[in-house]
Structure formats: C-alpha cells, structure tokens
Chains A and B, each alone.
Chain A
Amino acid sequence: MPGLEDLYREIILDHYRNPRNRGELESPPALRVEGFNPLCGDEIVVYLELDGEGRIAEIRIGGQGCSISQSSASMMSAAVKGRTIAEVGDLTRAFKAMMSIHESSLGGEAAEPAEVPDVKLGDLEALRGVVKFPVRIKCATLAWNTLAQALDDAAS
C-alpha cells in the first residue's frame, strides 16, 4: 500500500505531465504576466480574465521549468479558477504559510505573522515536503507570486 509520500509524488508528477489550464488567452483583453526564477531558470506565464464580480473567470498557464514549479502552477490554476480575489488571497496566504512564508500584517508595529486562513489546499498539500529544501521554495511559489502580480495589475 503506497504511503503518503508516494501519493504526493504521484500528484506532483500527474500535474507535471498533465498540466491543468495549460495554454494562452488572447491578451488583451486577458492580463498576461511573466514570472522568472533566476536560481533554476523556471519560467511561468499567467494569463488571467476576471469577470464583472471580481472572480477569476479564466486562467491559463504557460512557461517551462522543473516539476515543482510547473506542477505548483497547474495546481494553483485549478484551485483559483472561479474564486474571488479575496478567496485567492486566502488561498495564497495558506499556501505560503505551508511553505513557511508568513507575511506580516501590513502597518503593524509588531512583526507577528498574519493569521493563516482556514482553507483546504487539496492537491497543493502534495508540495508540503518542499519546505524542507529552502532552495526549492521559490520554485513552488513562483506561480503564486506571478498570479499576485497579475491581480495587482488588474487592480491598478
């Protein structure tokens, strides 16, 4: 009977080999933002369309790189599609907290970590083991940082 690590390995490789929401959207109207990790050469391109209610109506992912960066991007695209920007923010904070990245609440004097939203991470849990390898955390978070940049661009 396969253990949890084997299951996580299968989930990561499945997303790498069969990436969800892979492709492009016509830009404009879609937003197009590129992310790059100079440490290991990972590239992510996020195409994003928001609907009138501030939900992610469509998302597509392009780019190339290691299995961690590409499977994280695939999992992210499946997790955020149809979600509101606020929900995506919660998911992002929960994922980054799993990667031991705690963003301090803005404007506070104390550098206490912001509360981690109680959201289900689903397949993203498979990337939990990456936290033990600091050099690879940027691979796992590249897609999320690129998405955050796209949402910032949409808001401006």
Chain B
Amino acid sequence: MTRRSPRLLVIMAILALLSLTACSSPTSPAAEPDGAAADLEFVRSMLVEHSRGLELARIAIARTSYLDMMEFATTIAATQAAEVEQLRTWLAARGRQDADPTLDPGVGRLSETQRQALDAVKGLQFDNVWMPMMVEQLRGSVEVARAEIDHGRDPALVALARTIATTQQQQADGIHRIEEVPS
C-alpha cells in the first residue's frame, strides 16, 4: 500500500524544485512565496484527500459488518470533517474560498472503479474490500501532510499537518488491528 497518486507525485516534484531554488539563494525574497505556495498546495490537496476519505468512512458506517469498525469509521469521519473545516477556514481568511478544489463536484470523489468494487460485494466481503481502500486513503493524507511539514511556511498549517500525519497513521494502523481480530 505505498502507491502514490500521480497528482501527489507532481506536487512532490514541484515542492522539490521549489526547495532546490530556495537552497540556491537562501536569502532571496523568492523563498517566502515558495513556502506560501506549499501551504496553499497542502490545503488544496488535503481537501481533496479528505473529501474522498469522508466518502469512504461514511460508506463504512452504512455497510460494515463490524460494530467496532462502525465506531472507527465514525471517528475517522469526525476527525476529517473537523480538519476540512480548519482548511476551509484558512482559505476563507485569505479570501481564497474559490481555491477549494472540491467545489468541483467531480473532484475528491471515489473513482468509478472503487465505487463499483464496493457495490459488487455484500456482507463480510464488503469489509475485505473497504479496509485496504481506507488504509490507502489515510496513507495518502499522511504523505500530503509530510510534504507540508517539510516545505510549509504557516506554523498553524505545519502544526495541523503534524497532527494529520500522526493521527492518520494511527488510524491506518488501527484498521489493521481490527482486521487482525480473529473472527
């Protein structure tokens, strides 16, 4: 489950380039906008990740066979919904509400392949298909958060990224623990 989305790879490449530019002239005024660009990209990317994560978590609340997974998916949904609020508040404070990519109804949704895979299974099989998808989703959020920790400028956003990197790694590990309970 270490697949990185093409979009994330592009973001990481841009951030790496910005980082190189910044290193070549550490006192250059251009270093500041680079950090600001990383902040904005983090907010936009995380809104997309969380939009998909929320969709997945809500599907599990409606369909999982395990009460502990219902509980877990509820926690994931609550965590990500609160973080989405923080990210949107950050955009709003800068008059950049329009930069939220999820305003486009086609962005931040499960792929058709994922939706079909979930629709095709019933009962306990649902959880077998859903769990790896959710783990991958959580790890995607962790990767985006780590990029902000490395390259971001706004201390509040970097702090949020640290929280996301920690909690969502724990949640991904937690799903595996539920999965491992003999049943």
Contacts and interface: CB of A to CB of B under 8 A. Distances in A.
Interface string B112-138: 000000000011101000000000000
B25 interface: no
B171 interface: no
Contacts of B67: 5, 8-9, 12, 129-130
Contacts of B66: 9, 67
A9 B123 contact: no
Interface residues of A, number: 22
A66 B127 CA distance: 11
Nearest to A39: B62
Interface string B68-98: 1011001000000000000000000000000
A39 B74 CA distance: 18
Interface residues of B, number: 16
Contact of A6 (B63, B123, B181): B181
A68 B123 CA distance: 9
A37 to B, nearest CB: 11
Nearest to B74: A133
Interface string A13-46: 1001000000000000000000000011000000
A70 B183 CA distance: 17
Contacts of B61: 133, 135-136
Interface in B42-63: 61-63
A104 interface: no
B140 to A, nearest CB: 26
Nearest to A70: B123
A48 to B, nearest CB: 25
B65 interface: yes
Given A5-B68, A39-B62, A66 B123 contact: yes
Interface in A64-96: 64-68, 70
Contact of B123 (A5, A39, A67, A129): A67
Contacts of A70: 123
Contacts of B123: 16, 64-67, 70
A10 B68 CA distance: 12
Contacts of B71: 129, 132
A40 B71 CA distance: 18
Given A9-B67, A67-B65, 9 more contacts: A9-B183, A13-B65, A13-B183, A40-B62, A64-B123, A65-B123, A66-B63, A66-B65, A67-B123
Interface of A: 5-6, 8-10, 12-13, 16, 39-40, 64-68, 70, 129-130, 132-133, 135-136
25 contacts: A5-B67, A5-B68, A9-B66, A9-B67, A9-B68, A9-B183, A12-B67, A16-B123, A16-B124, A40-B62, A64-B122, A65-B122, A66-B63, A66-B122, A66-B123, A67-B123, A129-B67, A129-B70, A129-B71, A130-B67, A132-B70, A132-B71, A133-B74, A135-B61, A136-B62
4 closest pairs, A vs B, by CB?
A67-B65, A129-B67, A133-B70, A13-B183
